Copies of this chain bind each other. A is one copy, B any other.
């Protein structure tokens, strides 16, 4: 036992590794099917293609983003990460770039192109959160290589352009060479102009966005339907739909979630594209899934798997939040989102709801539903809580916002007033998409300036924490 405790297996030959991955994931599917609740109505989201889904991982370099990356890499027969874009949000982007490249290199995925976006913050994350990435970047597990090893992997294209090229099928590495899996190896853009992607099969691409929506908004603004039509769906960790936000910031009312608050206008822009399927994993769901010390200890029981050691080690960095911020532990935010992408059965409470986004002012970043919460709807109907609900009166539950400035009573009154106005406005929903051509919603005039149009989104309302823990622990036995 002593030797296993710090030992991790060396990387297996590619063929053997692929076989083990396949077996692992088949086992995982069996475990998850047995453990989780029955499928919801959102059958399209849960469709299981026979081939791995193409994914662009659009992250912002926080602690949980790296565990998310491990998870997305852990089941290649379900998800194939075709590119990674990084925003300078919950991180220091240059460090996050390093860390991402090192993780990929360490785990044999160095063919995945990675680029840092140049899009700026509207409301930057707190510096201590941004700084925490350094403690991951220095980990000995991923530093048995030099900066020279990484140099060929550094793209000069900005992240938002990489995303566009991947979506439009115009990205091509300098060499254009491929490894046996069909992925490019040693890909760089080498400063070359983007040309047709000979790996592009026209299959729509899933964007897993675990940071602000700036890159997605940029691509939609710049390339319009050409890009929108190539997006299978956007899975976004962001927003606070029927609960309060987690922003505590001078002048803000606490109703927004941080990824939305970082660039509220970008969220508003994505809301302007109702034809792009959008699944949000908001605080509604993540608030129930803390990263607990017990979870990390459980990774120790499987320390012979290097993905487990890496994930547990990365997450170990944040467990002191149980002391440091007892009222607001570190949640599984981004990783929960990836888990839902990989294993939709985890999300047994999905709701389609019309909503809009506040893009400026004291509530900027707030994602406002035009329907009561599932619990309120169920209580009103006297029955079951599952289902799709559109355009009833909003009743945002204050939750954490109650601790960050939103007063419960005022909120109720404001919501009622807004509800009447929104119910009138909602008939005009979708207009933004038709007219978006470089104009940000926040640039509109008058009353409209403060909010986006409304659109339908699918909300992951709840994930059982233990189901998530079990899934992640199983997936990272690799």
Residues of chain A whose beta carbon lies under 8 Å from any beta carbon of chain B: 1-11, 105-108, 110, 127-128, 131-132, 134-145, 149, 293, 296-297, 299-304, 306, 308-310, 312-313, 316-320, 322-324
Q: How distant is A101 from chain B, measured CB to nearest CB, in Å?
A: 12
Please tell me if the beta carbons of A134 and B2 are within 8 angstroms of each other in the complex. no
What is the CB-to-nearest-CB distance from A343 to chain B, in angstroms, rounded to a whole number? 22
Excluding A6-B306, A139-B312, A141-B309, 17 further A-B contacts by CB distance (< 8 Å) are A4-B10, A5-B143, A6-B309, A7-B7, A8-B8, A127-B323, A128-B323, A131-B324, A134-B322, A135-B316, A138-B300, A138-B316, A138-B319, A143-B300, A143-B303, A144-B300, A317-B317
Q: Are B139 and A313 in contact (CB under 8 A)?
A: yes
Show 17 A/B contacts (Cβ-Cβ < 8 Å), sorted by A.
Answer: A1-B149, A3-B11, A5-B105, A5-B144, A5-B145, A6-B107, A7-B306, A132-B320, A135-B318, A135-B320, A138-B312, A140-B303, A141-B300, A143-B300, A143-B301, A143-B312, A144-B301
A138→B301 contact, CB < 8 A: no
Expressed in whole angstroms, the Cα–Cα distance for A324 and B324 within the complex equals 15
Q: A134-B293, A313-B313, A316-B135 are in contact. Are A6 and B323 (CB under 8 A)?
A: no
Which one of A105, A127, A302, A323 has the greatest number of beta carbons of chain B within 10 Å? A323
Residues of B within 8 A of A10 (CB): 3-4, 7
Residues of B near A2 (CB, < 8 A) are 11, 105-108, 110
- Taking chain A's interface residues, is the majority helix, strand, or loop, or is none over half, making it mixed? helix
For A8, A11, A149, A319, which residue has the most chain B Cβ atoms within 10 angstroms?
A8
Q: Which of B136, B140, B299 interacts with A140 by CB under 8 Å?
A: B299
Across the interface, A135 reaches (CB within 8 A) one of B1, B142, B319, namely B319
Q: A6-B106, A144-B4, A306-B7 are in contact. Are A134 and B312 (CB under 8 A)?
A: no
A1, A135, A317, A319 — most chain B CB neighbours (10 Å): A135
Q: Across the interface, which residues of B come within 8 angstroms of A3, CB to CB?
A: 10-11
* Contact status B142-A5, CB under 8 Å: yes
Contact B323 A139 (CB under 8 A): no
The answer to whether B324 touches A142 (Cβ under 8 A) is no
Q: A127-B323, A131-B323 are in contact. Are A297 and B138 (CB under 8 A)?
A: yes
A300 proximity list for chain B (CB < 8 A): 138-145
Bound-state Cα–Cα, A132 to B318, Å: 10
What separation, in Å, do the CA atoms of A252 and B297 have in the docked complex? 39
Chain B residues within an 8 Å CB radius of A304: 144
Q: Considering the complex, give the chain B residue whose CB is closest to the CB of A12.
A: B3
| Nearest residue, chain B, Cβ from A298 | B143
- A135 contact set on B, CB distance < 8 A: 316-320
Q: Which residues of B contact A309 (CB under 8 A)?
A: 6, 140-141
Q: How far is the CA of A149 from the CA of B2 in the complex (A)?
A: 11
Residue of A9, A140, A303 with most chain B CB atoms under a 10 A cut-off: A140
Give, as a whole number of angstroms, the nearest-CB distance from A298 to chain B.
8
* Interchain residue pairs A-B with the least CB separation, the first 9: A143-B300, A3-B11, A140-B312, A5-B144, A138-B296, A131-B323, A3-B10, A5-B106, A6-B306
Complex Cα gap A142–B309 (Å): 10
A145→B1 contact, CB < 8 A: yes
A282 CB to nearest B CB, Å: 28
In the complex, chain B residues whose CB is within 8 Å of the CB of A318: 135
Cβ-closest chain B residue relative to A323: B131
Residue pair A8, B7 in contact (C-beta under 8 Å): yes
* A139 contacts across to B, CB distance below 8 A: 296, 300, 312-313, 316
Chain B residues with CB below 8 A from A134, complex form: 293, 319-320, 322-323
Q: Chain B residue with minimal CB distance to A143? A: B300
**Closest CB in chain B relative to A393 CB, distance in Å:** 44
Q: Chain B's nearest CB lies how many Å from the CB of A311?
A: 8
A141, B11: Cβ atoms under 8 Å?
no
Question: CB-CB < 8 A to A6: which residues of B?
Answer: 8, 106-107, 141-142, 306, 309-310
Complex alpha-carbon distance, A317 and B316, angstroms: 9
State which of B4, B7, B107, B141 has its C-beta within 8 Å of the C-beta of A313: B141
Q: Which residues of B contact A324 (CB under 8 A)?
A: 128, 131
Q: Indicate which residue in B141, B143, B293 contacts A297 across the interface (CB closer than 8 Å).
A: B143
